[in-house]
Structure formats: C-alpha cells, structure tokens
Amino acid sequence: MNKKLLSLAVAAGLASSSAMAVDLNAGTGSNSYASESTISSAGTNLTAAAANNVTVNAGFSISDSTERYMRFDITGATLGSTGLALAVDDSSGAGNALEVQSAGGALGDTYVIYEVTASGAQTVGTTNDAVLTMPNLTVTANGAIGVTYALFSNAIDAVNNTTANALVTNSGTVAGVAAGTSVGNVTGATTPAKIDVTEGAAKFVAGGGFTTTTNSVGTISLADTAGTQAQTDGATDTTHAVATASGSLVVTGDFTATQDLTSLVPDGTYTLATAVFLDQTGADCTNNDDPADALTDTTATWTTFGAAAGDSVVCIKVNGVGTIAAESYSAVYTPVANTGYTLAATSLNLATLAKNGSTTVLNLALSPTGAYPSFIRVNNTSNIAGDVTITLINDDGDSSAFNLGDVSGQTSSALAGQASTGLLSIADLMAAAQAADATFDLGANSNKLRASISGEFSSIAAQSITTSIDGNSFTTF
C-alpha cells in the first residue's frame, strides 16, 4: 500500500504542556507548535508555563559583589503581562542568586534584562543554570519562536544589545511549527479493471471483484495521524480528529458513461443513488455505502464526507452503452475547522482508467533525413476496430506521442479489424511528433528513432521498412 501523506490544516494550537522546556545548554527541548491555528492581527496569547521556560548556563562567573546583566530576546512572539521571572543558581543552591528585572519585560516587549548577583559570599558558576519562566507569550505570526541569551558586564551594553561586548551568548528555539495532523491518501489499495475495447470501450474487463459495469476510480483513506502539537491553552492537541469528522469531497473525472439511458441511448441524466458511490466496506464496489450527493459529467460531490473509518473506494456504475473515457481521476477534500483554526482544501490523486489492448515496439526506425526513404506499417491482427497511438523515442531517451490520425495522409486514428495502414513515412511521423511536442528532435549523437505503437484492440503488429534510393528494393525490420 503506497501512502502519500498530505499535511492538512486541522484544529491545533501552539504549545504543548507535555513537552519539556528548552535547554540551551544541551540543545534539547523545544515545543512543537501546530501550524493550523488562526493568528489574529493583534497576536494570539499562549498559556503554557512549563513549556515556554528557557534554561541556559550562566556561562561566566558572577560574585556577590559584581553585577552582571542577563538579556533574553524573543523572536516570533512577544512577552505577556504576568508571570515573567528569572531564577539563577549559585553555589548555595538552586535559585539562590539575586535577580532584579531592570529593563524590558513589559506587555508586548520582545526582550527582558535582569541584573544578577550571587547571594552573600556565594558565586554563580559558569555552569550554574539560569531559568527564565515565560508563562504567557503572544504569537504574532504563524512561525517558530526563538530565544537568544546574552550576558553583559554593564547595563549600557545590555540595553544596547552590543553583542560584540557580550561575555557569553547562546540561542535556540522555544518552539517550532508543525502540522497538527496528517491524512493519508491511499493510491494503490485497489487496481481498477481495464476498459474492454472488445466491447466498444463501453464495459470493463470483469475480474478482481469488479463486474463489466462496475469499477473503481481510486481510493481515499482518512487515516488521521495526530501530531504532538497543542491548542492555544497549552493542552496537548486532542481535536485533530475533526479532520475525519466532517468535510466535503469532490471527485473530478469523466462520468458520462454512468448516465441514464432512454431507448438505450445515454440521455444526460443521472441516478444519484447508483451512478457514483463510495464502497467503505470492501474494495470491489459491491457495497454502495454512500452515493454521491451531486453529479455532473465531470464531478461527483459528497457534501458530508469523512465520518466513516477506513478506506473509501470511489466507484462508478456505467450504463454499458456510452463510451468510457480512459483518463486519470482526482479529488479535492475540504475538512471543516473548529472555531479559531484555518483549514485548507487538499488535492488528492486517485486512479487512472486504461483500456485493454496491445503494444508493439520497433527498435529501429531509420532517420527521417537519411539517404534511404524509411516507413512503418501497422497491422490490426484482431477482429475488433480501435484507435492507434504512436510514440517516437530518440536515442537520447526523449519521446513524443501522437495519434495515427495526426500523421499526414491519415484521415482517422482508427484501424479496422484485420486492417493495415499504408506505408507511413518516418518523415511524416517525425512531423507529427514535433507538432505534438515542438521540443522533440533527433538525438544529439544519433539520428535513429524507436517507435512504440499501441492499438485499442487485442493484437497488433508492425514493420519498419526502408527502400533503396532507386525504389527497386526494400528491407523489413
């Protein structure tokens, strides 16, 4: 099973109370903020005391008679109005140094400075911890929150943040940003049946649980994976399941073959109950668990999607008369957010319906500009008519595909049962390839080509032919 995880904006906030505070000494900690919260223009307040704390070594000794100045700068957020505090260890024990807030630290500030001395007859050692408690931060943008610590010997350098004169500096991340959840789209859970060209491309090849009139156009999984992000109140995210609780789904593709019939002719109307539906019980479209709420020639819509557990196989039931298009299907899933969170619609790739048929490869098709005229001839060796497509490939590995009807002198891409084309000149094939892709050319070091030829019928053959200059003889490859 090939799962492509797609990050979806889901209901989470900005700091986890279960995460440890950042330790700049060890380079550990740092919360994970969810990227989905709606940040107001005035900023969004966070209340996660322990998670926002910053621990750092003093980095330089401080005596009881010498003042040093510890400065902390915050990026990506501003300081709250209450609870800001600094505790510095000295030789007498944890938090026993003397700290006085001397500048910054007001509501909306991005820095704070503390004047620090050791307690009586003690010393703050270089490895003693300074712990800054920041119970309230206001996020000003949806991004990471960083912190920089600097120790200064005088107040002027601290206020001016003259880092060139700092005794020591350190920095880290208080909190990073990540999606609060992700939803997996299963792209390989079911393999659609082929469109049967022997039935005029109006039915499928039965097998794998599919019938001649039912088939899958892809699978969607809403397996919801929670992150460790949190809400703005500091509680660990528990609302990520909103991603699968509600939303809408729009599948895009060609649904015209599911039209109702009037006098055995597709009439442009659809029976919603059966034309396109979700099989959420199995993987073979035998269970019509959730019919589409709206259906057009190119879109199927489910207005409420996501509540069911497990995979949702998108199924179609064709009328057996209209032509089934060979093409890829896609979807857009739009989850519904809780208040205060912003969710984006996400594009999903589904499956591709392909026709059964046959392909042959001519590994040598001589140059369109060579001295000897060269041709190919295509033979439908089955009894069923079908279209022919040709892909030219140069010796550099570049390719261009086109329909038989695009070749000069051809009036149709179809080839009748047991029929053969006339001689198709390599020059005309090259012209059709360049009309389809103007950048296609002969290889840089070789003027030879290969041709891959496909027919919408069960058996195909082809020959590569070159003639002599005087036209009196030819060679078949």
Range of lowest pLDDT (284-298, 341-355, 439-453): 341-355
φ, ψ at 67 (rounded to 5°):
-90, 135
> 198 or 8: which carries more pLDDT confidence?
198
Is 212 in the same domain as 252? Answer: yes
Structure tokens at 267: 């009439």
Is 193 in the same domain as 340? Answer: yes
What's the rounded Cα separation, in Å, for the pair 151 and 160? Answer: 12
Q: Is residue 347 part of a domain?
A: yes
Instruction: Say which residue the tokens 């920089």 belong to.
Output: 148
Q: Is residue 171 part of a domain?
A: yes
Round the CA-based radius of gyration of the chain to a whole number and report it. 35
Is 68 in the same domain as 165? Answer: yes
Range of lowest pLDDT (312-321, 453-462, 463-472): 463-472
Look at residue 338 and tell me whether its pLDDT is greater than 80. Answer: no
8 Å CB contact between 10 and 335 = yes
Query: Beta strand pairing status for 22-23 and 399-403?
Result: unpaired
From 304, 322, 352, give the residue that closes a domain: 352
Structure tokens at 166: 């700092």
Is 118 in the same domain as 142? Answer: yes
Look at residue 236 and tell me whether its pLDDT is greater than 60. Answer: no
Structure tokens at 293: 């709420």
* DSSP codes joined into one string, 131-172: EEE--EEEE-SSS-EEEEEEEESSHHHHHHT-GGG-SEEEEE
Partners of 3 in the β-ladder: 186
Q: Band of the pLDDT at 262, cuts 50, 70, 90?
A: very high
Partners of 313 in the β-ladder: 219, 279
CATH number for the domain including 426? 2.60.290.11
From 352, 384, 408, give the residue that closes a domain: 352
Look at residue 10 and tell me whether its pLDDT is greater than 50. Answer: no
8 Å CB contact between 304 and 248 = yes
From 321, 352, 383, give the residue that closes a domain: 352
CA 65 to chain centre: 59
Look at residue 229 and tell me whether its pLDDT is greater than 70. Answer: no
Q: Which amino acid is at 181?
A: T
Calculate the alpha carbon distances from 173 to 22, 144, 148, 233, 257 in Å. 7, 7, 9, 20, 56
Query: Beta strand pairing status for 22-23 and 54-57?
Result: parallel
What's the rounded Cα separation, in Å, for the pair 391 and 384? Answer: 22
Domain count, the chain: 3
Q: Is residue 426 part of a domain?
A: yes
What's the rounded Cα separation, in Å, for the pair 435 and 412? Answer: 17
The mean pLDDT of the chain is 83
Is 87 in the same domain as 202? Answer: no
Name, in order, each residue with C-beta under 8 angstroms of 27's C-beta and a sequence gap of 6 or more. 172
At 233 the pLDDT is 47
Structure tokens at 160: 């001016």
Is 427 in the same domain as 342? Answer: no
From the list 311, 290, 337, the residue with the least C-alpha distance to 222 is 311
> What percentage of the chain has pLDDT greater than the value 90?
46
Look at residue 12 and tell me whether its pLDDT is greater than 60. Answer: no
Q: Is residue 7 part of a domain?
A: no
Is 322 in the same domain as 425? Answer: no
What's the rounded Cα separation, in Å, for the pair 90 and 93? Answer: 6
Is 165 in the same domain as 215? Answer: no
8 Å CB contact between 192 and 206 = no
Q: Band of the pLDDT at 228, cuts 50, 70, 90?
A: low
Is 197 in the same domain as 297? Answer: yes
Is 343 in the same domain as 376? Answer: no
User: Listing from the earlier edge strand, what are the strands of the sheet with 3-7?
Assistant: 3-7, 181-186, 223-226
> 349 or 370: which carries more pLDDT confidence?
349
Q: Is residue 232 part of a domain?
A: no
Is 374 in the same domain as 319? Answer: no
Beta-carbon count within 10 A of 346 CB:
18
pLDDT digits (tens, 9 = 90+) for 410-463: 999 999 999 999 999 999 999 999 998 899 998 888 788 889 898 888 889 999
CATH number for the domain including 78? 2.60.40
Where helices occur in 326-425 by DSSP H, the ranges are none
What's the rounded Cα separation, in Å, for the pair 374 and 451? Answer: 13
What's the rounded Cα separation, in Å, for the pair 331 and 206? Answer: 25
Name, in order, each residue with C-beta under 8 angstroms of 345's C-beta and a sequence gap of 6 or more. 332, 333, 334
User: What is the domain extent for residue 107?
Assistant: 37-178
DSSP 344: -
Q: Is residue 32 part of a domain?
A: no
> Residue 172: how many CA atoms within 13 Å on its side-chain side?
20
Q: Is residue 440 part of a domain?
A: yes
Name, in order, each residue with C-beta under 8 angstroms of 402's C-beta and a sequence gap of 6 or more. 389, 390, 391, 432, 433, 435, 436
pLDDT digits (tens, 9 = 90+) for 356-403: 888 888 987 766 776 678 899 999 999 988 889 888 999 888 888 889
Instruction: Say which residue the tokens 């070749």 belong to.
Output: 407
Structure tokens at 397: 């590995």
8 Å CB contact between 158 and 69 = yes
Instruction: Say which residue the tokens 């499956």 belong to.
Output: 351
Polymer length of the chain: 477
418 backbone φψ class: left, alpha, beta (φ>0; ψ -120 to 50): left
> What percentage of the chain has pLDDT greater than the value 70?
80
User: Listing from the earlier edge strand, what are the strands of the sheet with 136-139?
Assistant: 44-47, 136-139, 77-79
pLDDT digits (tens, 9 = 90+) for 139-195: 877 788 899 999 999 999 999 999 999 999 999 988 877 776 665 566 566 789 998
Is 57 in the same domain as 157? Answer: yes
Q: Is residue 430 part of a domain?
A: yes
**Model pTM greater than 0.75?**
no
